Amino acid sequence: MARILIVDDSPTQALSLTKILKKHGHEILTAKNGAEGIEVAKAELPDLVLMDVVMPGVNGFQATRQITKNPSTSHIPVIIVTTKDQETDRIWGARQGAKSYVVKPVEEATLIEAITQYLPK
């Protein structure tokens, strides 16, 4: 189906997301932090990025902004997947270019619906 980049510093969260996505036939790329996520996005040009927010160094908001504003990666939809559930976080995520916002713990149906909405048809 699609190549999806998971950017999350938690191995447990990345594994949980990977299991859900593989079950739905997606190919998975991973990055352990925002800086690595930006590099993988540039090198691999995935169909979609799932971005955690709270990470050391370059956080998910900063990485989302860099991916969505760079001409070589701006076509890639970014969905923020985080524990941060404040309205201000959602607004800030959208301002950085995120297409959607999913709160952890992730419900499979919610995640798949968000992904399906933004994958190339």
- Examine the pLDDT at 121 and tell me if it is beyond 90: no
The fold of the 3-118 domain, in CATH, is Rossmann fold (3.40.50)
The predicted model scores a pTM of 0.97
**Where are the chain's structural domains?**
3-118
pLDDT at 22: 98
- Residue 32 has a pLDDT of 97
Three-point CA angle 94, 49, 41, nearest 5°: 110
Distance between CA atoms of residues 29 and 31, nearest Å: 7
**Coil, strand or helix: which one is 19?**
helix
Q: How far apart are the C-alpha atoms of 117 and 121, rounded to whole Å?
A: 9
Task: Report the pLDDT value the prediction gives residue 1, as an integer from 0 to 100.
Answer: 85
Q: Which amino acid is located at 20 in the chain?
A: I
* Alpha-carbon Rg for the chain in angstroms: 13
Give the tens place of pLDDT for each residue, 21-72: 999 999 999 999 999 999 999 999 999 999 999 999 999 999 999 999 999 9
User: What is the structure's pLDDT at 120?
Assistant: 74
